[in-house]
């Protein structure tokens, strides 16, 4: 194995979630530009990566360049820190990632054109949770089984995760691990100023329930003074998934519409009761953006918002970039899981997969597998680097690091995968209405009963259509 020991910089080894992707940049820098002001691994971190590389399966690459297609670049980013997996890929294989730029809106159109033109890139993000099963149905992605042994020692701990992404007997995601789609982020100064019990402490005492969450939200809201309990774009799905049942699930390879599931009905009823008290910032009065200019976290740092359900990606960044959430160096930023239902003993976590799709007719799938091996080895053997980077570069405190570990544990024990964004454009568009039906701002919220009556038939039809594309034998 070649050891170049080059200290190239990049993003933190934390893939981007659906929420970040949805509001991500529509353009990217090339890799040379973006690496100029990045933060290198230090000598101690590099030594950890070097030692961990001994755990890699033996591979020889004839081509060390792999083509990454997304609306964001995973090469080094300005002001970010080096991901161990990317450093290992470069050190071990002289690996390079060529960025094939697209935009959020045009990702799948551009991908389809390249596949049809026999000019496929190599790999594509699965963490946005909108590529499966449609990417398999439309033959934009390859099964990964021919390239990677998901039952091997290296991958055995995520076999169950990979089994959540099976189409016609093939696995369509190389998973690094399950990850939280949303956590409940709050500002500790706001909590203290209002005399509330700390949500993290309530969680550790197993008292972080819907009742407690509702009590805080109702006490905090003061719409006349622009004070709201919730803000952001994702509270609808984040709150629904606390019941443990996704709106669109997959069972035994078959898509399932759970809109009339009793658990969903119950949690959506709680959501409607919350919104009747105007707990959510009125985006309809702000051009359908969140508070301020729509920057994630807006309202927490100014103490006008109590909770924002968003992915950890929102605060895994530099102190300057997380200012909308609060002063991280002063200990203002904290988070916990979304609350559990009062009649449940389980904290369910809305889940995504930190993983990747191999694109149909990829020119270098072996190179992708080599990079995935590096990512997986570093996830288990070099996790201390990520912790050190969060602490040193992003100024996280012990409480934040402990809670991060706890939530990753929870999401790998009780993940709730929702496939509503990955079936088809038609399902995705319709589910945007369904997701916000009981909590839409601007006075438009209505009951879940009305939502089911209005939308379930159309969702059922589209899900049936998708299942028939998967195969009639599985659609029964």
The pLDDT of residue 16: 33
Q: Do 105 and 26 form a contact (C-beta atoms < 8 A)?
A: yes
The pLDDT of residue 386: 86
281-328 pLDDT, tens digit per residue, is 988 777 778 886 656 778 999 999 999 999 999 999 999 999 999 999
Would you place residue 10 in the very low, low, confident or very high pLDDT band (cuts 50, 70, 90)?
very low
* pLDDT at 474 > cutoff 60: no
- The pLDDT mean for the chain works out to 88
Which long-range CB contacts under 8 A does 396-400 form with residues at least 24 apart?
396/328, 397/331, 399/200, 399/331, 399/334, 400/333, 400/334, 400/335
383-425 pLDDT, tens digit per residue, is 888 898 899 989 999 999 999 999 999 998 889 999 999 999 9
* pLDDT at 31 > cutoff 80: no
The pLDDT of residue 28: 37
What domains are defined for the chain?
18-180+353-413 (3.40.190.10), 183-349+420-474 (3.40.190.10)
User: What pTM was estimated for this model as a whole?
Assistant: 0.85
Please state, in angstroms and as integers, the Cα–Cα distance from residue 412 to each residue in 180, 187, 203, 415, following that order.
Answer: 9, 26, 17, 6
The pLDDT of residue 293: 60
Would you place residue 205 in the very low, low, confident or very high pLDDT band (cuts 50, 70, 90)?
very high
The pLDDT of residue 297: 74
């Amino acid at each position: 194995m070649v050891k170049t020991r080059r200290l190239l910089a990049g993003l933190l080894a934390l893939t981007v979630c659906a929420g970040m992707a949805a509001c991500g940049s529509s353009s990217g820098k090339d890799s040379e530009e973006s690496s100029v002001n990045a933060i290198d691994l230090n000598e101690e971190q590099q030594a950890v990566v070097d030692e961990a590389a001994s755990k890699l399966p033996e591979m020889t690459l004839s081509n060390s360049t792999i083509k990454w297609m997304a609306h964001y670049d995973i090469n080094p980013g300005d002001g970010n820190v080096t991901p161990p997996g990317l450093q290992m890929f470069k050190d071990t294989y002289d690996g390079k990632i060529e960025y094939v730029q697209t935009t959020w809106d045009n990702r799948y159109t551009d991908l389809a054109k390249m596949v049809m033109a026999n000019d496929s890139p190599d790999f594509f993000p699965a963490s946005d949770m909108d590529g499966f099963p449609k990417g398999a149905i439309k033959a934009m992605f390859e099964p990964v089984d021919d390239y990677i042994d998901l039952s091997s020692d290296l991958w055995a701990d995520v076999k169950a995760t990979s089994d959540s992404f099976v189409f016609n007997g093939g696995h369509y995601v190389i998973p690094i691990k399950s990850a939280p789609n949303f956590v409940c982020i709050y500002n500790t100064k706001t909590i203290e100023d209002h005399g509330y019990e700390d949500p993290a402490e309530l969680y550790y005492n197993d008292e972080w329930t819907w009742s407690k969450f509702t009590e805080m939200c109702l006490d905090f809201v003061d719409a006349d003074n622009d004070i709201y309990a919730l803000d952001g774009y994702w509270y609808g799905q984040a709150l629904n998934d606390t019941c443990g049942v996704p709106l669109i699930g997959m069972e035994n390879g078959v898509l399932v519409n759970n809109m009339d599931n009793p658990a969903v009905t119950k949690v959506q009823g709680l959501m409607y009761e919350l919104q009747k008290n105007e707990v959510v910032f009125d985006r309809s009065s702000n051009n359908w953006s969140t508070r301020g200019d729509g920057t994630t976290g807006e309202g927490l740092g100014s103490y006008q918002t109590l909770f924002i359900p968003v992915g950890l990606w929102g605060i895994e960044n530099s102190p300057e970039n997380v200012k909308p959430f609060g002063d991280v160096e002063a200990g203002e930023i904290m988070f916990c899981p979304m609350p559990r239902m009062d009649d449940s003993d389980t904290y369910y976590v809305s889940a995504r997969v930190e993983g990747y799709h191999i694109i149909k007719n990829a020119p270098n799938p072996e190179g992708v597998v080599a990079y995935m091996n590096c990512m997986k080895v570093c996830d288990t053997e070099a996790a201390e680097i990520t912790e050190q980077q969060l602490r040193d570069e992003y100024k996280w405190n012990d409480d934040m690091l402990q809670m991060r570990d706890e939530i990753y544990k929870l999401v790998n024990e009780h993940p709730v995968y929702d496939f509503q964004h990955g079936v088809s454009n038609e399902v995705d568009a319709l589910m945007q209405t369904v997701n916000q039906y009981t909590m839409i701002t601007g006075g438009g919220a209505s009951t879940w009963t009305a939502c089911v009556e209005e939308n379930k038939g159309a969702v059922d039809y589209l899900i049936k259509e998708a299942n028939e594309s998967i195969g009639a034998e599985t659609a029964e």
